[in-house]
Chain A
Amino acid sequence: MLVVIFLLLAICSLLIAANKVKPALFLFFCLFVLGCVWFNHHMTSSLAIHL
């Protein structure tokens, strides 16, 4: 998942370099949701160990 996120981050920077405003914004929000999902996954999978 993290490899995909970093790859999409590079693509988002590429879209900004190409001056594509709407695709870059859309990709950012997709990335942000992915980041939140991954953080939530980490929280729920490690809560049982640490709490």
Chain B
Amino acid sequence: MLALSKRLELVTNILGFLGITGVILLAIIMEYHMDELPCPLCLLQRVGFSFIALGFLMNCCFGLRPRYYGIVLVSALYTAAVALRQVLLHIVPGTGAYGDPILGMHLYTWSFLLAMITAAAVAMLLVFSSDNKSQPTSVRPAVRIGLCSLLILVSLANGIGVFFECGLHQCPENPVTMELALV
């Protein structure tokens, strides 16, 4: 049966990690560049995408294992559930929307689509993964440090952003200003 080589599977996981981290970075850039403060559900979607990135990262650093693919799958379902919740809040005509649409769809709709595509892609990776254990299945230590540093930076940037937006209280449903504005 057709099976991916371990090296190709590893590269796919690295690309998946970089893609998901890129999406979170894009959301952070939009937050500051377009002045779109994230709502609590938007932040939970970022948490979900960070979970997905953690699953890919474990696959890259600890070696390819079905359990890490499971982490990506369950995290993608979590992200999809949160995004779908937000879609349903705004689906009734007249209830408005949160934020500006991008390419015709709002960020939470894109978020739902991306989570479902990730789940489908990981399921296909599991179907076509090979059983060959002789090939190397994890990245070099320098690459591991680089990938982990990227996720640490993204998580800290998100954490600091949330702290300035909400302080230590629960975030408002429709945030307008930063809770702890510096200027």
Contacts and interface: CB of A to CB of B under 8 A. Distances in A.
B148 A13 contact: yes
A50 B95 CA distance: 10
B57 interface: yes
B155 A6 contact: yes
Tell me whether chain B's interface is mostly helix, strand or loop, or mixed: helix
Tell me whether chain A's interface is mostly helix, strand or loop, or mixed: helix
Contacts of A5: 47
A14 B166 contact: no
Interface stretch (B5-13, B36-44, B107-115): B36-44
Contacts of B82: 39
Contact of A28 (B44, B51, B61, B152): B51
A17 interface: yes
Interface residues of A, number: 28
Nearest to B57: A16
Contacts of B151: 9-10, 13
Interface of B: 40-41, 43-44, 47-48, 50-51, 54, 57-58, 61-62, 71, 74-75, 78, 81-82, 85, 89, 144-145, 148-149, 151-152, 155-156, 158-159, 162-163, 166, 168, 170-171, 173
29 contacts: A1-B170, A2-B40, A2-B44, A2-B47, A2-B162, A6-B47, A6-B158, A6-B162, A9-B50, A10-B151, A10-B156, A12-B54, A13-B57, A13-B151, A14-B152, A16-B54, A16-B58, A16-B61, A16-B62, A16-B148, A17-B144, A21-B62, A28-B54, A32-B51, A32-B78, A42-B40, A42-B41, A43-B85, A46-B89
Given A3-B166, A17-B61, A32-B78, 7 more contacts: A9-B151, A10-B152, A17-B144, A28-B54, A32-B75, A42-B44, A43-B85
